[in-house]
Chain A
Amino acid sequence: MISGRVWKFGDNISTDLMLPGPALALVEKEQMRWVFQANRPGWVDEVRPGDIVIGGRSYGIGSGRPAARSMRNLGIGCLIADSINRLFFRNCVGYGLIALSCPGVSAAFEEGQIAEVSVAARTVRNQTTGQTLSINPIPERLAKLMLSGGIYPLLEREGFIAPLVA
């Protein structure tokens, strides 16, 4: 069970908003400082590890840049949206950010409420209103990758990429 405070964002949240082009030149840890700087300046100072981001339709539309990684590095407990752009979803799987499509989720929550998420049972519950919605299924192989830190740990184990030097 994942439980966390909800931050709400609208439709068509692009990867440009999560990781603007110029931030790509920065080292990984600095990139997350730029998340939502254009549409919600100061948010990265307010968000806390374990918080939940709820978006509208087409969350993550746009460029294939590693924006999901910045969300993961901010400690987002999970991302839930009415629909998630398929390329962004691939990056969520690849970088190990829990990302769930749940039609209607945006209308079911107000900012600051607590969401309770069960990936196994495929449910999202609004702790305040008691409303429960069901999450769209994710193919099992992809869910496993997403929940276990993504693709790189797998490729490291296979000897296909070098471990990260701390």
Chain B
Amino acid sequence: MGMTIAEKILARAGGLTKVSPGDLVVADVDTVMFNDTTFYPGTWREILHVFDPAKIVVVFDHRVPAPDRACAQMHVTGREFCRRFGITRLHDVGYDQGISHVIVAQNAYALPGTIIVCSDSHTGAAGAFNCAGRGIGVPDVVHAATTGKTWFQAGATVRYDLIGALRPGVATKDVFLHIAQTYGDHYTFNIEYGGPGVSGLSLDARRTLRTMGTELNAEFSIFEPDDVLLAYMHERTTAPFEPRYPDADARYEAKHSIDLDRIEPFVALPDSIIRNARPVSELTGERIHHAFIGSCANGNLDDLAIAARVVAGRRVAPGVRLLVTPGSQATYRQALEAGYVATLLDAGAVVTNATCGACGGGHMGVLGPNETCITASTRNFKGRMGDPSARIYMASPATVAASAIAGTITHPGTFLGAEATP
């Protein structure tokens, strides 16, 4: 019996010939990433030894620029850590800063066939690059950074074959919400994405889908490599890598086929995601106060482009705030050059620097009591974006932008012309 992609990557990293569901694998890690929250005064433990400084990446993203003294202190600690051990891949406030998972994507830090770990839950975003990424929490990150090793319990794999192409105004965020609604919880399972529909999805679009795999409770979610991925990697790195393909006789827990042409815009209702999504058309008319587009899942150039297209020549509804946070400063510059930033500003949006910011209710754009928000970010959990009484709906950037213009939850086709009309 053959192996799935996740099993193959774990086998290589664990020095094993075969990995099967249930196995506990002690793996050599290829990349260990720290984000700024690891250095919080209340979290940080002084590290005395690093297994290999060249395999460590440090990115400041959650609280950037520092909004208070505790955050300023954590950034100081992070800089000292890099200096002490000669870690050169530090993405500090400025030119090459961004949300860690976006930085990984744009700098090709997650090589196909390898393993990347970070404390942050969305580290699995690297699965878009055929890389096994996982959030492992701070103690395990400290363990990995000092010893070069961590553990994984191998899970069975669910395979999704994507076919066809998304219709205008429909995004991989909607594909994710469709999966969450139709197939539900993926507790202990890996996800493998493949099929002919993948080649029509940009790496950013794939990363959105993969980032949201965390919200399906999945272990690794990994895309099968294709020419688009290999070209993307070769444009950004000369480092050698070995992409992993599933064996023809790999064993899957389940196999599903998703026809992208049939996906429609979805919205997740407040507080939880799994089996809690509805087609936008069923929620049309719900009044909102706050609209957010950003995070590791939805701060991509594609996301800013579609948001700009929706709001072009229009104005955000009175009583509504539209906040847009690019995933990295590089994305910000690209959006500026393409004219998206100007279009968004003209419509009344606030465009912030790259940071996790509002997604986690950290700083900039926190929700007040009894407010209603629609967000294109990673989570809609109670209390996550501010006051616990606030209601958080989750959708694609196009749906969020359309809702900001209308002032109520609205199908993006309303503003995208005939081809995307609901």
Least Cβ distance of B116 to chain A in Å? 14
CB nearest neighbor in A for B43: A66
Q: Does B40 contact A (CB under 8 A)?
A: yes
Q: Does A124 contact B (CB under 8 A)?
A: no
Specify which of A21, A64, A159, A160 is in contact with B119 (CB 8 Å cutoff). Answer: A64
Cα–Cα distance between A81 and B331 once the two chains are bound (Å): 41
A90 / chain B contacts, CB cutoff of 8 Å: 136-137, 140
Specify which of A25, A66, A160 is in contact with B47 (CB 8 Å cutoff). Answer: A160
Number of A-B contacts (CB under 8 A): 146
Q: Does B188 contact A (CB under 8 A)?
A: yes
Report the count of interface residues on A (CB-CB < 8 A): 49
B119 / chain A contacts, CB cutoff of 8 Å: 64-65
Cα–Cα distance between A83 and B189 once the two chains are bound (Å): 13
A26 / chain B contacts, CB cutoff of 8 Å: 42, 70
Cα–Cα distance between A38 and B385 once the two chains are bound (Å): 12
Q: Does A106 contact B (CB under 8 A)?
A: no
B142 / chain A contacts, CB cutoff of 8 Å: 151-152, 155, 160-161
**A142 and B382 contact, Cβ closer than 8 Å, known pairs A91-B137, A161-B48:** no
Cα–Cα distance between A38 and B146 once the two chains are bound (Å): 36
Least Cβ distance of B98 to chain A in Å? 19
Q: Is the CB of B24 within 8 A of A141?
A: yes
Q: Does A28 contact B (CB under 8 A)?
A: yes
**A22 and B362 contact, Cβ closer than 8 Å, known pairs A27-B41, A66-B138, A159-B48:** yes
Most buried by A among B46, B134, B217: B217
Cα–Cα distance between A26 and B40 once the two chains are bound (Å): 9
Q: How large is the interface on B (under 10, 10 to 19, 20 to 34, 35 or more residues)?
A: 35 or more
Q: Does A58 contact B (CB under 8 A)?
A: yes
A22 / chain B contacts, CB cutoff of 8 Å: 361-362
**In terms of DSSP, what is the predominant structure of the interface of chain B?**
loop
B68 / chain A contacts, CB cutoff of 8 Å: 25
CB nearest neighbor in B for A154: B143
Cα–Cα distance between A62 and B274 once the two chains are bound (Å): 12
Cα–Cα distance between A144 and B148 once the two chains are bound (Å): 21
Cα–Cα distance between A82 and B68 once the two chains are bound (Å): 39
Specify which of A20, A24, A58, A150 is in contact with B217 (CB 8 Å cutoff). Answer: A58
Q: Does A61 contact B (CB under 8 A)?
A: yes
Q: Is the CB of B381 within 8 A of A86?
A: no
Cα–Cα distance between A151 and B142 once the two chains are bound (Å): 9
Q: Is the CB of B382 within 8 A of A38?
A: yes
Q: Is the CB of B136 within 8 A of A64?
A: yes
Q: Does B2 contact A (CB under 8 A)?
A: no
Q: Does B284 contact A (CB under 8 A)?
A: no
Q: Which stretch in A10-18, A111-119, A126-134 binds the other chain? A: A10-18
Specify which of A39, A83, A160 is in contact with B49 (CB 8 Å cutoff). Answer: A160
Least Cβ distance of B389 to chain A in Å? 9
Q: Is the CB of A25 within 8 A of B361?
A: no
Q: Is the CB of A66 within 8 A of B146?
A: no
B121 / chain A contacts, CB cutoff of 8 Å: 62-64, 87
CB nearest neighbor in B for A25: B70
Q: Give residues of chain B (268-286) contacting chain A, Cβ–Cβ below 8 Å.
A: 271-272, 274
Q: Give residues of chain B (90-147) contacting chain A, Cβ–Cβ below 8 Å.
A: 119-121, 134-140, 142-143, 146-147
Least Cβ distance of B93 to chain A in Å? 17
**A24 and B42 contact, Cβ closer than 8 Å, known pairs A90-B137, A159-B49, A161-B47:** yes
Q: Does B71 contact A (CB under 8 A)?
A: yes
CB nearest neighbor in A for B384: A16
B37 / chain A contacts, CB cutoff of 8 Å: 24, 65
Cα–Cα distance between A58 and B381 once the two chains are bound (Å): 13
Q: Does B183 contact A (CB under 8 A)?
A: no
Q: Does B219 contact A (CB under 8 A)?
A: yes
Q: Does A94 contact B (CB under 8 A)?
A: yes
**A58 and B187 contact, Cβ closer than 8 Å, known pairs A20-B361, A27-B42, A85-B217:** yes
**A162 and B46 contact, Cβ closer than 8 Å, known pairs A17-B383, A24-B37, A27-B41:** yes
Least Cβ distance of A3 to chain B in Å? 28
Most buried by A among B46, B135, B381: B381
Q: Does B164 contact A (CB under 8 A)?
A: no
Q: Does B421 contact A (CB under 8 A)?
A: no
CB nearest neighbor in A for B366: A22
Nearest 5 A-B pairs (CB), nearest first? A94-B139, A38-B388, A38-B383, A160-B146, A162-B46
| Known interface pairs A14-B381, A83-B187, A161-B45; 14 further A-B residue pairs with C-beta atoms within 8 A, sorted by A's residue number | A14-B382, A16-B383, A20-B383, A25-B70, A27-B42, A37-B388, A58-B187, A64-B136, A85-B217, A87-B137, A91-B140, A158-B146, A161-B142, A162-B46
What are some 6 contacts across the A-B interface (CB < 8 A)? A12-B274, A14-B382, A17-B382, A21-B360, A86-B187, A91-B137
| Residues in A lying within 8 Å of B, measured CB to CB | 11-12, 14, 16-17, 20-22, 24-28, 30-31, 37-39, 57-58, 61-66, 68, 83, 85-87, 90-91, 93-95, 139, 141-142, 150-152, 155, 158-162, 164
